[in-house]
Structure 1
Amino acid sequence: MAPDVAQFKWNHHLPIEDLPREAEVIAALGRQASALGVPQPWAEAFFRAQIEASKTAQNELFQGWDVFKRGQFPDAPDLVTVTRPKLDRLTDQLLHALAENWPVLSDPTRREDVLRAMHPMQAEDLSAKAVTQAIAPLGR
């Protein structure tokens, strides 16, 4: 979803980072995860990593577009009405997957299994650095 977010922000000259919104989202997701049985501090660190990974991917896209003096993206989806609802649905699925898999994710003897299962990821085509950031909490 990072390319869709980045295209909208590029078209509207918006900053990639929105710290107040990020803090709200992370806190809310931490509370939701806790209600599902995933420790809030772990969930907050996990979702913070997802946001950081998205910002990394967006920054990399912006850098490339800036170098090549990229114009507007005429087909960029609207951030509020299209992309965020998609992100909300994906995040809800992710929350439930984390809760369902918490026994494995929290087992230190299974860390290598978890990390191995996370590769290969399609997002590596976009940003290997972002993938590394996104899955880092799974190895802790």
Structure 2
Amino acid sequence: MHRSVRPSRVAAAARCGAVMGGLAMLVAPVRADSASRLTPLLDAAAQRLQVAEPVAAYKWNQHGAIEDPARVQQELAELGDEADAEHVDRDYVTRIFGDQIGATEAIEYSRFADWKLNPASAPADSPDLSASRSAIDAFNRTMLTQISANWNLLHSPECAAQRDAARSGVIRARQLDGLYQKALSSATQSYCQQ
């Protein structure tokens, strides 16, 4: 005799599988169709922003706060230490990642607003934060490596044009919606320093 699986459990399992599959898709880099050397950096920033989706779902389901100042300070301190180890300006790196975190929080606030206004659209389940944090850590490492590799370009007069070309290419390749386009602009606003 076959045991019947409750439809709600099947639906919940499907949603969790979709979220985890989405996280796996994030690690696929965009093909560099733009001529910008900053495309890998901007692509990693966009992928890091996309991790806001499962993080927001987790926080929603756990009734957690979007902002976690203690965790942000810890993350920025660790990134600053990594910047020091790479002989990259600590203040520049923490400013870049501060912008990235702020843009990520903005996406999470947007999702919370959507779910508050339309509770039926809220995720019923969410993955544990460990997968999201591992993805964030990997994107942070990629971004720091790209910052170090492109240090001279990021501090040159050509930076703004290269950043904008890379951003346009990533937006197109990842098919980012309006929210993510604004978030990516905010996350990358401090990249160019002269």
TM-score normalised according to structure 2 size: 0.65
Task: Flag as ranges the 4+ runs of structure 1 deviating above 2 A.
Answer: 70-75, 108-111, 120-124, 126-129
Runs of 5+ unmatched residues, structure 1: none
Q: Does the CA contact (< 8 Å) of 1:50 and 1:134 recur in 2? A: yes
CA distance in 2, matches of 1:90, 1:109: 25
Matching residue within 62, 70, 73 for 1:12: 62
Cα pair distance change 1:123/1:54, threshold 3 Å: farther
CA distance in 2, matches of 1:123, 1:135: 18
CA distance in 2, matches of 1:114, 1:132: 10
Matching residue within 80, 97, 104 for 1:47: 97
Larger Cα-atom Rg: 2
Alignment correspondent of 1:84? 133
Alignment correspondent of 1:26? 76
Residues 19-63 of structure 1: CA distance to partner in whole angstroms, max 9, x if unpaired? Answer: 111011112102212321321111010000010010000001110
Paired letter, 1:35: A
CA distance in 2, matches of 1:102, 1:139: 10
Q: Does the CA contact (< 8 Å) of 1:6 and 1:58 recur in 2? A: yes
Query: What is the aligned-residue identity percentage?
Result: 29
Shift of 1:99: 0.8
Shift of 1:67: 0.2
CA distance in 2, matches of 1:107, 1:37: 18
Runs of 5+ unmatched residues, structure 2: 1-50
Matching residue within 153, 160, 182 for 1:111: 160
Q: Does the CA contact (< 8 Å) of 2:99 and 2:186 recur in 1? A: yes
Alignment correspondent of 2:142? 93
Equivalent pairs counted in the alignment come to 139
CA distance in 2, matches of 1:138, 1:100: 13
RMSD: 1.8
